[in-house]
Amino acid sequence: MAMNPTSIRGSAKRRALAFVAATLAFTTLAAALGMMLADRHPWRIDLSVAGGQRLAPRTVQLLQSLGGDVRLVVATDFSLVDRDAKERLVDVLDEFGRSSGRVTSSVIDTGSQVGAEAYRTLVGGLIDADSESVEKTRAIVASTRGRAGAAAAWLASTLGPGLQRLEAAEATGGESARAARDYFNQAAAAVRLAARDLEQAGAKADESLAFRLADRPLPRSDAAAESLAKGLAPVVSMLEAVARELKVFGVKASPERSDEVRRLAAEVQARRDDVAVLVDAMRRIDRPDVLRVVDSIGGGAAALVIGRAGEGLVALDVDALLPSEAWLEASGADAADQSRRVEELWVTAIGALQSRSRPIVVFVHGEPREFLREAPVLTQAMQRLESRGMDVVEWACVANPTPPSLASFDGAASRPVAWIVMSPDSTAESGARAGSPGVTGVQRAERVGKAVEGLVAAGEAVCVALNPSIVATYGDVDPIAAALATLGIAADTGKPLMRSQVAGASRTIVTDMVVQTGASGHPLAEAIRGLPTTLPWSISLRPLPGTADATVTPLLTLPVDAGLWGESQWLGLWQTPRDRRQAMADLPKLDPGRDLAEPPAGGSWIVVAASERRLDSGRTQRAVVVGSNSWLIDQVAGRAGTVDGRRVSLSPGNMELFENVVWHLCGRDELIARSAAAGQVAMVQPIAEGTLARMRLAIVIGLPALLLLAGALRRAWRG
């Protein structure tokens, strides 16, 4: 029977079409299943050396611990933005979304009409969402504005004329009367100037309270409070001086006038106290979240992290997220560097937003006055804390032995507090170097020691940074080191660690110890494993026996080295500038009779240790002792250099350790991890001693044995 060619061709065509259709159907199904699996399991493998294509461990932990939804918004004119920078930003936002279902992101191009309208709607919504808090703060500042105006009126109408009357009353008399007239004349002039300045500050505050944004009233109560605080603060010191002089004058004045002077002095003192309360209230006033970002959103471009209603708002620097092409070329940053930079900025903002129980960090030091906001000493450390949403407080315990009150901070009752203690220079003399006449370095150390003792006794979470102590050198007890005994830690502050190095005929002494810790079971050590950490003038620590309620864990250690020891005669080197030490005729060297030739606890030199102490209340007190007082200063922690053409931190472990110590002290163990900022350069991890010994044996013995075995097998095979 003959086959019809047309029928054969039709059958073949149908089979081909069926095959193509089945192939397309199964391919589509496979693609759909693949996308579903990718959405549910966003797993990526990064084999790059620097790990620039994956999120940092802390980022992942933070995103997975979010208690509510978070929205990330970037609004700017993207026609003016470098294309590569935009790609890096979008990539990081996509990674955030893959890591947590609670994170959503949106990019608004304000260069378009639709984007501009969307941005205006966004700003209006932010103002409406925070309107209750804005109005509450405005009312407080407006009330203070009224009281400041009343104080200015009192200065001009009461105190000034009163001082002038006293001046006129001293028209006759000897040298003392002339001196009194001069003082009252100058004081009256100062009062008039203070009243004028206070009125100007009030007028400036009125302008801030009348501020509008996006056609909506948005009182800048924060700026108004700052203006009032600046205007009121000089009045406090002036009134205090006037009250003091009036009290002295009242004792010397004639009986018929002494009562009038005393009444005026009492009134001045009462006014001084009232004004001081106003200054403190304006400096500590709560700042609504929308006012924290008003400067950003008012400029037409913003990067925001928006939480649920009542959870707050955080702004980022748009230029930092989207740097120009010129900046990228000048910095030498590659794609991985920029991705980490963007990641760190977002994580910082999210971390500041996610919890209302953000830590309060108190820096305790032995200087006679508060200075951290003025001097560039701990700038980077403070900025890192504040960028995480933490409040930073300073306690100059030498000037004020009473710890600062934290009750005025928002939600202070439920917020954890970490105390960071910086030891003073015990070798400083009284006078200019000590910062205040009559207060020596030893006396400052005693007062800091009392502060540490009180904090430890109260069960507070503390981190104590140690300096070499001249008191311990003399054989006495270092008061700061003694306060650590309750925590189960002893410190040889009289014998700082030094390392002798010989290059050719030249011998140098190294006082900056660079630690690159290996594996350890403690989360703090794991977080900085492999990161160089610089500890200048390191102090050796050791666990104290007989403290059963305290558990001490070494965090950073230095291996035993023939050129490393604890020097007792360190004062000369301490007082010699670094650039002149090489010219010293008698550099320190190991004296086994009086120096520390070996670690006092055996094993290795412990330079950073953690302690956990069980309190009678059942609570656990946490503490960290760092055997270096300079480990946080900008000149050490912020030291940078050029590596592979890029500007990177030379001591990335310092800031990583510091931030993780704060989280540890505050009980936020879920946030103890390495941040994206630590991944600028791929680090070669240190090899543990046991692993290194096995590798050496394998090379020295294993390879020859393997060759002999291979030869024997070949000989046996061939007969």
Reduced 3-state DSSP string for 35-48? HHHHHHCCCCCCCC
Average pLDDT, the chain: 83
Residue 530 falls inside a structural domain:
yes
Q: Residue 123: which pLDDT band, with cuts at 50, 70 and 90?
A: confident
Do 350 and 307 contact (CB within 8 A), yes or no? no
Which one of 101-115, 380-394, 433-447 scores highest in mean pLDDT? 101-115
Encode pLDDT of 145-188 as tens digits: 999 999 999 999 998 888 888 777 665 555 666 777 788 888 88
Last residue of one domain, picked from the residues 270, 304, 321: 321
CA-atom Rg of the chain in angstroms: 34
For 110, residues 6+ apart whose C-beta sits below 8 A from its C-beta are 75, 76, 77, 116, 119, 300, 301
Residue 677 falls inside a structural domain:
no
Does the structure show a pLDDT above 70 at 32? yes
Encode pLDDT of 37-79 as tens digits: 766 655 555 544 444 557 888 788 888 878 788 889 998 888 8
Coil, helix or strand at residue 109: strand
219 and 118 part of one domain: no
Please count the residues of the chain.
719
Coil, helix or strand at residue 562: coil
For 535, residues 6+ apart whose C-beta sits below 8 A from its C-beta are 512, 513, 514, 515, 556, 607, 608, 626, 627, 628, 631
372 and 421 part of one domain: yes
88 and 122 part of one domain: yes
Residue 249 falls inside a structural domain:
yes
Encode pLDDT of 492-520 as tens digits: 999 999 999 887 778 889 999 998 765 56
**400 vs 91: CA distance, rounded Å:** 51
Six token digits for residue 532 = 């160089």
103 and 157 part of one domain: no
Do 209 and 138 contact (CB within 8 A), yes or no? yes
596 and 614 part of one domain: yes
420 and 548 part of one domain: yes
Helix axes 255-283, 221-252, angle to 10 degrees: 160
Distance of CA 534 to the CA centre of its chain: 17
150 and 237 part of one domain: yes
Residue 122 falls inside a structural domain:
yes
User: Residue 177 belongs to what domain range?
Assistant: 131-287
**394 vs 625: CA distance, rounded Å:** 19
Residue 42 falls inside a structural domain:
no
Question: What average pLDDT does this structure show over 537-549?
Answer: 89
189 and 308 part of one domain: no
Encode pLDDT of 570-614 as tens digits: 999 998 888 888 778 788 889 888 999 999 877 889 999 999 999
What stretches of 253-354 show up as alpha helix (H) in DSSP? 255-283, 289-292, 294-297, 318-321, 325-331, 335-354
> Around Cβ 361, how many Cβ atoms within 10 Å?
25
Question: What average pLDDT does this structure show over 469-495?
Answer: 93
Query: Does the pTM of the predicted model rise above 0.75?
Result: no
Residue 38 falls inside a structural domain:
no
Last residue of one domain, picked from the residues 263, 287, 311: 287
443 and 562 part of one domain: yes
241 and 311 part of one domain: no
Does the structure show a pLDDT above 60 at 295? yes
Higher pLDDT pick, 38 / 383: 383
Distances from the Cα of 650 to the Cα of 155, 377, 534, 647, angstroms: 56, 18, 9, 9
Residue 489 falls inside a structural domain:
yes
How many domains would you assign to the chain?
4
Does the structure show a pLDDT above 90 at 365? yes
559 and 607 part of one domain: yes
pLDDT of residue 47: 46
Encode pLDDT of 563-573 as tens digits: 899 999 999 99
Last residue of one domain, picked from the residues 302, 321, 340: 321
Residue 345 falls inside a structural domain:
no
425 and 497 part of one domain: yes
pLDDT of residue 50: 45
- Closest by CA to 676, choosing from 56, 7, 21, is 56
